[in-house]
Amino acid sequence: MDARDCAAAWWEMVARNLRSIPRSCSTLGRKIAALYNSFTSKPLKEHIFPPLMNMLIFFNFFKAPFLVDLKRPELKIAHTVNFYIRVEPGVILGIWHTVPSCRGEDAKGKDRCWYEAALHDGNPIIVYLHGSAEHRAAPHRLKLVKVLSDGGFHVLSVDYRGFGDSTGKPTEEGLTADAICVYEWTKARCGTTPVCLWGHSLGTGVATNAAKVLEEKGFPVDAIILEAPFTNIWVASINYPLLKIYRKLPGFLRTLMDALRKDKIVFPNDENVKSLSSPLLIIHGEDDNTVPLEFGKKLYEIAHNAYRNKERVKMVIFPPGFQHNLLCKSPMLLKTVRDFLSKQWA
C-alpha cells in the first residue's frame, strides 16, 4: 500500500465515523467529506509538487543569516534605519534604508523621519529587490548596499512578504505588489529625485513585473537594473542546480511545468521587457553557474529588438571571478551603473 492509499484509507475511516456524529455536527462532517473528495480526486503529485516548487522558487523559509536583529540594522551596516510599510491587510514589509555615505555624519542619531526626508536630497535612489532565500541582512546583499552607498546612492533593501520579518506568504502576484508599493511610496517622498528598480536573480522577475504594471498605468519607472536575469522562471527552473539531476526522469519536466502553472509562477522577463520604455541595464557575470550568462544575453537581445530607443538598453558582461552573487566585488560595477544612469537621467 503506497502513501496515497494509506491516506485514502484514513479519510474513509473518518468518513464512516462521521455517520455516528449528531446532526449538530453535520456541517463539520460535510467539510471533512469535501476535503476527502478533494484529496482522492487528484493524483498524489498534485498535492506535493505545487507547494514543493513554491518552496524551491522562493526558498523564503531559509532565513539566514540567523540570530540577526532586523530591527537594528546599525549592527550590520552604517547610517541605516529599519522601517515597515503596510502593503495590504496581513502584509507588512521590513525595509532597510541606507543613505549615501556622504551623509553618514548627518545621519548619526537621526530617526526614521529624518531618513524619509533625506530621500528628497537629490541623491539617486535604488529600490533593491533581492533574489530567493535569506533576507536583507545577507552578507552579499550588504556588500552591494555598501558599494552603492559609497557611490552616492540611497538604497532601500526590501524583504518581500514571507521573507525576513515581513509578514504574509510569497506568491508571484504578491511580490510584484510589494515592489510596486515600495516604488510608489518612494516616489511620493523623493520629489524629482530619480528612483531605480534593481533586481537580482529572482528579483529581476519581480522588477520587470512591477515595471510592466507601472508602465501600463502610464508611470514608467525611472530606470531598471537587472543583475543576473533569466528569461522566465520555467527555463530557469529547468536549469536550477538542485533540479538538474532529475531532468532525465520520465515525466519530470511536465510535472515541473504543471506545478509552476498551478502556482501561477512565471516571472516572464522575456515578455515583460517587450512592454517597457524605461532605461534598462543588464549586468551578468561570465562565470555565473546559477543563472547562466546565456539567459542574460537572450534577454538583452529580446529587449534590444523591442525597444524603439536602442540607446535605452545596455548589457555589460563581467569577467570571471564574481559568479552569481558577487558582482558587488567588481571594481567596474559602480562606474558601470553611474555612467549608465547619468547618461539616461541627463
Q: H or E element: which one contains 166?
A: none
Position 241 scores a pLDDT of 62
Q: Could you tell me what percent of the chain has a pLDDT over 70?
A: 79
Per-residue pLDDT, averaged over 266-285, amounts to: 97
Question: Could you say which of 3.90.1150.10, 1.10.150.120, 3.40.50.280, 3.40.50.1820 is the CATH number of the domain covering 57-345?
Answer: 3.40.50.1820
Residue 36 has pLDDT above 60, yes or no: no
3-state secondary structure at position 200: strand
Position 149 scores a pLDDT of 98
Q: Comparing C-alpha atoms, which of 289, 335, 268, 263 is closest to residue 49?
A: 263
Q: Which of 189-203, 210-224, 251-265 has the lowest mean pLDDT?
A: 251-265
Give dist(CA 325, CA 285) in Å, integer.
9
Q: In this structure, what DSSP letter does residue 188 have? A: T
Give dist(CA 178, CA 85) in Å, integer.
9
Contacts of 319 (CB under 8 A, 6+ apart): 286
Q: H or E element: which one contains 340?
A: helix 333-345
CB-count burial class (<10 Å; 0-12, 13-18, 19+) for 9: exposed
Q: Which of 162-166, 173-177, 248-252 has the lowest mean pLDDT?
A: 248-252
Position 284 scores a pLDDT of 98
Residue 34 has pLDDT above 70, yes or no: no
Position 35 scores a pLDDT of 47
Residue 267 has pLDDT above 50, yes or no: yes
Domain segments of the chain: what residues?
3-41, 57-345
Cell 536549469 sits at which residue?
239
pLDDT tens for residues 124-157? Answer: 999 999 999 999 999 999 999 999 999 999 999 9
- Give 324 or 11, the one with higher predicted confidence: 324
- Give 14 or 168, the one with higher predicted confidence: 168
pLDDT tens for residues 71-121? Answer: 999 999 999 999 999 999 999 999 999 999 999 999 999 999 999 999 999
Q: H or E element: which one contains 280?
A: strand 280-285
Q: Residue 73: how many CB atoms within 10 A of its CB?
A: 25
Dihedral sign of CA atoms 253, 259, 264, 267 in order: negative
Average of per-residue pLDDT values in the chain: 88
List the catalytic residues.
201, 288, 324
Position 251 scores a pLDDT of 67
3-state secondary structure at position 175: helix
Q: What is the pTM of this model?
A: 0.85
Residue 60 has pLDDT above 90, yes or no: yes
Which CA distances in Å does 96 have to 19, 30, 81, 118, 158? 56, 47, 6, 14, 7
- Give 3 or 157, the one with higher predicted confidence: 157
Report whether 90 contacts 167 (CB < 8 A): yes
Report whether 138 contacts 63 (CB < 8 A): no
Q: Which of 52-61, 108-117, 272-281 has the lowest mean pLDDT?
A: 52-61
Assign residue 267 a region: left if phi > 0, alpha if psi is -120 to 50, beta otherwise? left
Per-residue pLDDT, averaged over 202-216, amounts to: 98
Residue 31 has pLDDT above 80, yes or no: no
Position 234 scores a pLDDT of 84
Report whether 142 contacts 79 (CB < 8 A): no
Give dist(CA 326, CA 44) in Å, integer.
40
Q: Could you tell me what percent of the chain has a pLDDT over 90?
A: 74
Per-residue pLDDT, averaged over 332-341, amounts to: 98
